[in-house]
């Protein structure tokens, strides 16, 4: 079965977050299910560079204002279709924003073009390749389902929501320019609070909606998590599925990870990584301190604004903290002030560093993930696999992937981490104190680590669920 996957990022070619990890890893896992995925990506410089010699399989005389080409090839282990449209994608910065951080003013045109080409491919534009199902990821690709609908193309579509907080809302005046018919501007169309809503349109028209954990699939029906789309999502409840993410267990394999100071197969082999992490972050070489780590966007979603206030409790427990992240300036400033106030106890690296992320997972005793909402979360899955005990908020995919060290779970020997709720400074402090107490009991701690390392966080099971969904839709 052929599937067209359409997304704005894919690891290892271009990544700003977990979306890229998912789009990059799922095709490989689906191959084992007999599903062949082609991934349509914008032709950013990084994508075209990795593609090297590629075949031109289509040319557009005018795509959103200038000529463009569709290139086919392989890159990063993926079967890629790259939309080579220099006027839209040949830019510095991230996929979404200029180097100064401002969103590109024509993001509507850029990602509508991506979605539209996806719909055209689904509709048979390439004579020798047609997908049975078109699978769009997040708002950047969501309009694909609307284009299929308005063109009357009978190809089933799936929209995966990785984060409902990012919706893609653009001025209504763009309707014609985006190639949408006048009647599309309606409640049962692309209209959304007086604008054009890309995600809203996708949620309305996709044949199936998936999101990246069962808990998040349920949460988004409520006003607290639905971000204004809860009504629409309740109406479509029968078509919504929660399928947990996995991680690429070949890239995230502690026994063969060249990014670690010392690869390891059991918790007892982590010590050299712990020491290397302390050295790298300027932390004292303390063997007893519970070493907490954060690998995260430093944002409100991730609960990172609560972290500075919880640090006195962490320090009071004799703990150390290592932070790797990028994000909001006030959070960065508060963390840097904490480093200055507690040298040797708190270390912080502001930046994006794939290699250091591996060392953090392989060296820290515990990983803190105090998210206010978390569609799935990948870092706690990496933590489990690397024997860093996840200390997480009980929301979304964090609730679904970590087994809290309750007295019963400890007695049964099945705990893998610590969960807390609701998300507040007090509850985060309590969770940190609980983790520190568990860390003082080496046998119980080692058992949690071993349980985590034995947890199946691979794509095998999720891929089966996606393959079953595709088959259901393809008939
Ligand atoms: P989100 O996509 O919401 O940011 P996820 O947990 O799903 O959160 O995915 C985040 C991904 O980005 C993980 O692969 C994580 O390891 C990685 N990551 C986040 N921040 C950094 C950073 N500063 N350096 C390296 N990797 C990071
Ligand atoms: C989003 C979510 C995160 C999820 C990732 C991949 O970035 O915030 O929870 O793991 O997408 O699905």
| Residue 352 CA, ligand 1 centroid: distance in Å | 9
Check whether 265 has a pLDDT greater than 90. Answer: yes
Which residue CA neighbors atom 4 of ligand 1 most closely? 17
Instruction: Among the bound ligands, name the one nearest to the CA of residue 162.
Output: 2
Is 134 a residue whose pLDDT tops 90?
yes
Residues in the chain: 475
Q: Return the H-helix or E-strand segment holding 70.
A: strand 66-75
| pLDDT tens column, 271-286 | 999 999 999 999 999 9
pLDDT in tens, 98-117: 999 999 999 999 999 999 99
From first CA to last CA, the distance across the chain in angstroms is 11
- Ligand 1 site: residues with CB under 6 angstroms? 17-18, 21, 295-297, 324-326, 352-354, 357, 376-379
Query: Which of 210, 230, 207 lies closest to 220, judged by CA?
Result: 230
- Atom 26, ligand 1: residue with shortest CA distance: 354
Q: What ligand 2 atom has the least distance to the C-alpha of 21? A: 6
Q: What is the pLDDT of residues 356-412, one digit of tens each?
A: 999 999 999 999 999 999 999 999 999 999 999 999 999 999 999 999 999 999 999
Ligand 2 mean position to 146 CA, how many Å? 23
pLDDT in tens, 80-91: 999 999 999 999
Q: Give distance in angstroms: CA of 245 to centre of ligand 2.
A: 9
Q: How far is the CA of 27 from the centre of ligand 1 (A)?
A: 20
Query: Over the stretch 145-203, which tens digit does the pLDDT of each residue have?
Result: 999 999 999 999 999 999 999 999 999 999 999 999 999 999 999 999 999 999 999 99
369 lines ligand 2 (CB under 6 A): no
Q: From the CB of residue 207, how many other CB atoms can be counted at a distance below 10 Å?
A: 17
pLDDT digits (tens, 9 = 90+) for 64-103: 999 999 999 999 999 999 999 999 999 999 999 999 999 9
The verdict on the CB of residue 282 being under 6 Å from ligand 2 is no
Domains and CATH numbers, the chain: 2-246+460-474 (3.40.50.2000), 267-454 (3.40.50.2000)
Alpha carbons 233 and 208: distance in angstroms, whole number: 11
Strand, helix or coil for residue 60: strand
Ligand 2 binding pocket includes 462 (Cβ within 6 Å): no
pLDDT value at position 217? 98
Mean pLDDT over the full length of the chain: 98
Ligand approaching nearest to the C-alpha of 252: 1
Structure tokens at 415: 């705990």
User: Which tokens belong to 345?
Assistant: 């106890």
pLDDT tens-digit map of 15-39: 999 999 999 999 999 999 999 999 9
Q: Measured from the CB, is residue 16 less than 6 Å from ligand 2?
A: no
Element at 63 (helix H, strand E): strand 55-63
Q: pLDDT tens digits, residue range 284-332?
A: 999 999 999 999 999 999 999 999 999 999 999 999 999 999 999 999 9
Q: How confident is the model at residue 53 (pLDDT cuts 50, 70, 90)?
A: confident
The ligand 2 atom at the shortest distance from the C-alpha of residue 396 is 9
**Cis geometry, peptide bond prior to residue 422 (ω within 30 degrees of 0):** yes
pLDDT number for residue 151? 98
Half-sphere exposure of 400 (CA within 13 A, CB side): 23
Q: Is the CB of 377 under 6 A from ligand 2?
A: yes
Q: Could you give the CA distance from residue 414 to residue 189 in angstroms, rounded to a whole number?
A: 48
3-state secondary structure (DSSP) of residue 383:
helix
* CA 19–ligand 2 middle distance (angstroms): 6
Residue 244 confidence (pLDDT):
98
Determine which residue's CA is closest to atom 24 belonging to ligand 1.
Answer: 352
pLDDT score of 121 more than 90:
yes
Split at pLDDT 50, 70, 90, the class of 426 is very high
DSSP codes joined into one string, 288-323: SS-EEEEEEEESTTTTTTTHHHHHHHHHHTT-EEEE
Dist. CA 296 → ligand 1 center (Å): 5
Cα of 126 vs centre of ligand 1, distance in Å, is 35
Q: Please check the confidence at residue 52 and state whether its pLDDT lies above 90.
A: no
Tens of pLDDT along 396-425? Answer: 999 999 999 999 999 999 999 999 999 999
- If you average pLDDT over residues 123-133, what whole number do you get? 96
Whether residue 460 has pLDDT greater than 90: yes
Nearest CA to ligand 1 atom 19: 296
Ligand 2: atom nearest CA of 165 is 8
């Amino acid at each position: 079965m052929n599937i067209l996957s359409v997304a704005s990022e894919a690891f290892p070619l271009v990544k700003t977050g977990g979306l890229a990890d998912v789009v990059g890893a799922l095709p490989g896992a689906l191959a084992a299910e007999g599903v062949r995925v082609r991934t349509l990506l914008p032709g950013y410089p990084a994508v075209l560079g990795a593609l090297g010699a590629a075949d031109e399989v289509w040319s557009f005389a005018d795509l959103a204002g200038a000529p463009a080409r569709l290139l086919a090839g392989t890159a990063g282990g993926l079967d890629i279709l790259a939309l080579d449209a220099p006027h839209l994608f040949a830019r510095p910065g991230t996929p979404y924003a200029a180097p100064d951080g401002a969103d590109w003013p024509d993001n509507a045109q850029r990602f509508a073009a991506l979605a539209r080409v996806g719909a055209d491919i689904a509709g048979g534009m390439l004579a020798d390749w047609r997908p049975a199902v078109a699978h769009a990821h997040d708002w950047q690709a969501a309009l694909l389902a609307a284009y299929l609908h308005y063109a009357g193309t009978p190809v089933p579509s799936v929209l995966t929501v990785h984060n409902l907080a990012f919706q893609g809302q653009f001025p209504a005046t763009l309707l014609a320019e985006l190639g949408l018919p006048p009647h599309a501007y309606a409640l049962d169309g692309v209209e959304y609070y007086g604008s054009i809503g890309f995600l809203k349109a996708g949620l309305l028209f996709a044949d199936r909606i998936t999101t990246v954990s069962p808990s998040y699939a349920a949460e988004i029906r409520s006003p607290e998590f639905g971000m204004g789309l809860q009504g629409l999502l309740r109406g479509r409840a029968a078509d919504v599925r929660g399928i947990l993410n996995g991680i690429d267990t070949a890239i995230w394999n502690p026994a063969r990870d060249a990014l670690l100071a010392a690869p390891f197969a059991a918790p007892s082999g982590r010590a050299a990584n712990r020491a290397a992490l302390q050295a790298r972050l300027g932390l004292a070489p303390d063997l007893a301190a519970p070493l907490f780590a954060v690998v995260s966007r430093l944002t409100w979603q991730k609960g990172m604004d609560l972290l500075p206030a919880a640090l006195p409790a962490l320090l009071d427990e004799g703990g150390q903290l290592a932070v790797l992240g990028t994000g909001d300036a006030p959070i960065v400033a508060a963390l840097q002030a904490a480093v200055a106030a507690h040298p040797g106890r708190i270390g912080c690296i502001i930046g994006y560093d794939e290699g250091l992320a591996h060392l953090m997972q392989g060296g820290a005793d515990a990983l803190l993930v105090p998210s206010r909402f978390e569609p799935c979360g990948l870092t706690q899955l990496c933590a489990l696999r690397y024997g860093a005990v996840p200390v997480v908020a009980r929301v979304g995919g964090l609730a679904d992937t970590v087994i809290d060290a309750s007295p019963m779970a400890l007695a049964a020997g099945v705990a893998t981490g610590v969960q807390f709720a609701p998300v507040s400074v007090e509850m985060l402090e309590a969770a940190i104190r609980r983790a520190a107490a568990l860390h003082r009991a080496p046998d119980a701690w080692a058992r949690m680590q071993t349980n985590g390392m034995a947890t199946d966080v691979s794509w095998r099971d999720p891929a089966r669920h996606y393959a079953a969904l595709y088959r259901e839709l393809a008939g």
